[in-house]
Amino acid sequence: MRIVLIFVFLFGFASSVSANGLEELAHTKVSAIQGYADYGNGDFIFTVEAVGQVCKGYWLAKSSPGTANLIALIIAAQKAKSTISIWGHTDAGNKWAGASKHYCKVYSVLDAG
- Residue spans of the domains in the chain: they are 2-111
* Whole-number pLDDT of residue 16: 67
Q: Alpha-carbon torsion 67, 70, 74, 80, what sign?
A: positive
The answer to whether the CB of 32 falls within 8 A of the CB of 20 is no
Residues 57-69, mean pLDDT to the nearest whole number: 95
Residues 4-31, mean pLDDT to the nearest whole number: 68
What is the maximal distance between C-alpha atoms in the chain? 46
* Whole-number pLDDT of residue 39: 86
Would you state the CATH architecture of domain 2-111? Beta Barrel (2.40)
Instruction: Count Cα neighbours of 48 within 13 Å in the Cβ-side half-sphere.
Output: 32
Residues 69-74, mean pLDDT to the nearest whole number: 97
Residues 76-83, mean pLDDT to the nearest whole number: 97
Q: Rg of the Cα trace of the chain?
A: 14
Whole-angstrom Cα distance, residue 74 to residue 53? 21
Query: Has residue 47 got a pLDDT over 50?
Result: yes
Query: Has residue 7 got a pLDDT over 50?
Result: no
Helix spans in the chain (H): 2-11, 67-80
16 vs 33, higher pLDDT: 33
Q: Is 17 exposed, middle or buried (0-12, 13-18, 19+ CB in 10 A)?
A: middle
